Amino acid sequence: MKNLFSTSLLMLVFSSILLLSCTDNELVPGNSDPFEPEKDVEFPFKFSEIDYTTDNTYYLLNDNEPSEIYFNQAERSFKVNEPLQISMTDDHYFQFRFYCPRAITDLIVWARIEGYDEEFRFAEFSKIMPLQQFRIHIPFATEDITAYTRSGKRIKIMRNPHLSSTNISFEIECNNPVYKMMTGVKPRWKIYFGNYQGGNWLSMKPVHTREAVAMALNMAAMYSTTEFEQQLEEKRGTFIESGNKVDIDELKRRIMNLSGLRFGLVDGNVTGLGGGETFGLVEYAYLTMYADDSGPVTTPFHELAHCLGYSHNGNMTYGDGWTPFCQELFVELGRQKKLPVYSRRFLHSRKTLGGNPYATSRFPFENDPELDALDGGLSPLKGESDTGGNDGTELSLKLDYTAVPGATASTFIPKDVYVYGNEMYVANEANGNFSIEVFEISNENVKHIHTIKEWQGKEGMETFAKAPNGIVRANGKLYVTHEGNRTEIFDASTYQFINHIGNGNWGTGGNQTVHAYDVTVARGLVLIRDKRYVDVVEESMVQSGNTMYVYARSENLDERNGTFGMAVDEQNGLLYVTHWSSKRIDVLNLADVREGVTWKRSSNFSYKNSPYSLDFYEGDLFVSSNGAEKFCKVNPRTGEIIKDYTTVGEITLSSPEKFCIRRNTLFIVERAAGRQCVYAIPMSRLK
């Protein structure tokens, strides 16, 4: 757990802890006593992130927490101005519960025991984790403990088995700005979670309760700002309830005197239900409240108005009144980081909910050290390109239908080729025989070892709906594109089907592509060239059973069918994409990819002929095309042909299309009628 929090997202922690029980005695074993002193025990006890273990730490509202726990307000409730709850049990277990999805630092706990003149420095926490419950036994009953008072005196706390929770009190000292922001709010609302039943109510999941905590803290903070006071004063006389002007001073009193909010979840037939302490919201209202989410949404403020006693008869719940006023201020304060949980990235709840985890950010927080430490930053480039399978001696060979058992010139027509180590993968587009043919090429004696033609899919046996036209292997997976609006994914060792990108229906929905013509994988991204765009999918999301959603799309690169190729220059992270009909090569920077944001080209350049495919070798760009110059080394900035390699030794390319350069060898598909094959040409012959 210690390592998980230092390197992973908070939502991953919530989904990773499996609890057998949530009773206090089982969260910390009764015989667990970390203070078995060799010498004197001394206050203050000091804790940092490295000290937190499964013996002393539990995370509130995690995904495996039973509903009978989080719906029990005796177990899960807090006041917005007291997010950190500290207590001591009669059997001398010290505990805190922290209701905030954001960490705080540098906190000191002072204690006072009846019979002692001064309070003493009890514990120091260099960091308190988001939504952390910490519980540890203090040996008051068995040990004399040295302590230091506020005035600096050194005192002895004598062992006392009769010390009870009523004899000790605590005070928190913390100058952390986030903690001070939360504890300095004016409202005193009690926050808890309701297991509402029937009608439009749904049962909250832990992910919703975490978002409710964030929303409550943020709303309380907003209503405590000078901006709220000033801007509300400017609205005096403009809010209407039942034909009368709303008394602004009375409105503020109602906000501050509201006893609490009992959060709930409603279905999509209504967006919210509110009144008294009842505060129910539709799921998207929880998710879109942040400045860096897709909003805006006014639902929370509509329902809060009902909790404050206002009806639909006026502009306190609808129209140009209270709700847009609150929503606009809420977003602006979030942008300025004047709310305690100002970003959706503290929780990343969409990745927990199981639907489309992506949404365009209105106001993304670029270069935010705290957020970047949580999730690695806004760029999805969190993986490394698979550089394996590129070793080995040069090869010189020709592969045609005779290498495939039982094949003929009409049943084996190569379209694309990829090589990884000693395996060659060839996409076969022959009508009625769509397949991926796998060959062993450990030496120049080619051996056919497998055919991928049909497989067990999610709903039965499946085949390639259209001709396969692009293939790549990366990190143990094979990716195969075809015009059936899907990219099939197979295990590279077993050839078993894993999943697919695109649902098979033509379109631009979250899990759709517009056909699919080529694929490459680089730096943690799966990149698919479809009829219009380059579609970006996070490689980390490629798992069996997942619905694969598109993370981002490029701008429209002009809608065309045909042969397309892509390659990444690993030296600078630039993606090169061919456009044969426009005689153009587009360049996109992987570093510019952002969630839900249209990915713009960084440049493009014209090419003399219609380019089909391209790849890099030792920093040089090579392009296949029609025209007189079939295969050339090309200037990657201008598109100027540097050298023509249409003829290499005894091989003259007639109609080359897709290719890859692997193992110091050019593997290129020859498409000329009667000559369909794959050539392997040592790159040393091109120098």
- pLDDT of 30: 35
Number of domains in the chain: 3
Asked if residue 392 belongs to a domain, the reply is: no
- pLDDT of 354: 83
179 with 198, same domain: the answer is no
208 with 174, same domain: the answer is no
Which stretch of DSSP H or E encloses residue 543? none
168 with 211, same domain: the answer is no
Label residue 522 exposed, middle or buried (CB < 10 Å: 0-12, 13-18, 19+). Answer: buried
- pLDDT of 516: 98
Asked if residue 382 belongs to a domain, the reply is: no
562 with 417, same domain: the answer is yes
Asked whether the bond before 44 is cis by omega within 30 degrees of 0, the reply is yes
Domain end point (choices 183, 202, 228): 183
Asked if residue 383 belongs to a domain, the reply is: no
Pairing type for strands 45-47 and 120-128 reads parallel
Q: 3-state DSSP call for residue 480?
A: strand
Answer for the pair 616, 642: CB distance below 8 angstroms, yes or no: no
- pLDDT of 570: 95
- pLDDT of 32: 39
CATH number at 481 reads 2.120.10.30
Asked whether the bond before 611 is cis by omega within 30 degrees of 0, the reply is no
544 with 413, same domain: the answer is yes
Asked if residue 389 belongs to a domain, the reply is: no
Answer for the pair 584, 606: CB distance below 8 angstroms, yes or no: yes
How far is residue 629's CA from residue 165's CA, in Å, rounded to a whole number?
A: 87
634 with 649, same domain: the answer is yes
Amino acid occupying residue 37 = P
Give pLDDT tens digits for 397-446: 999 999 999 999 999 999 999 999 999 999 999 999 999 999 999 877 89
Q: Which residues of the chain have pLDDT under 70?
A: 1-39
74 with 109, same domain: the answer is yes
How far is residue 181's CA from residue 596's CA, in Å, rounded to a whole number?
A: 32
152 with 236, same domain: the answer is no
Domain end point (choices 183, 203, 232): 183
Beta bridge partners of 137: 93
519 with 403, same domain: the answer is yes
Q: What is the pTM of this model?
A: 0.89
Asked if residue 390 belongs to a domain, the reply is: no
How far is residue 633's CA from residue 389's CA, in Å, rounded to a whole number?
A: 24
Angle at Cα 136 formed by Cα 91 and Cα 65, nearest 5°? 100
- pLDDT of 39: 57
161 with 293, same domain: the answer is no
- pLDDT of 442: 84
Q: Pick from 228, 229, 188, 182: which is nearest to 342 by CA?
A: 182
Asked if residue 628 belongs to a domain, the reply is: yes
Domain end point (choices 183, 212, 230): 183
428 with 577, same domain: the answer is yes
595 with 634, same domain: the answer is yes
How far is residue 364's CA from residue 345's CA, in Å, rounded to a whole number?
A: 10
Asked if residue 510 belongs to a domain, the reply is: yes
Pairing type for strands 145-148 and 41-42 reads parallel
Answer for the pair 281, 300: CB distance below 8 angstroms, yes or no: yes
- What is the extent of the structural domain holding 124? 2-183
Asked if residue 386 belongs to a domain, the reply is: no
Quote the radius of gyration of the chain (alpha carbons, Å). Answer: 32
Q: Pick from 504, 515, 519: which is nearest to 660 by CA?
A: 519
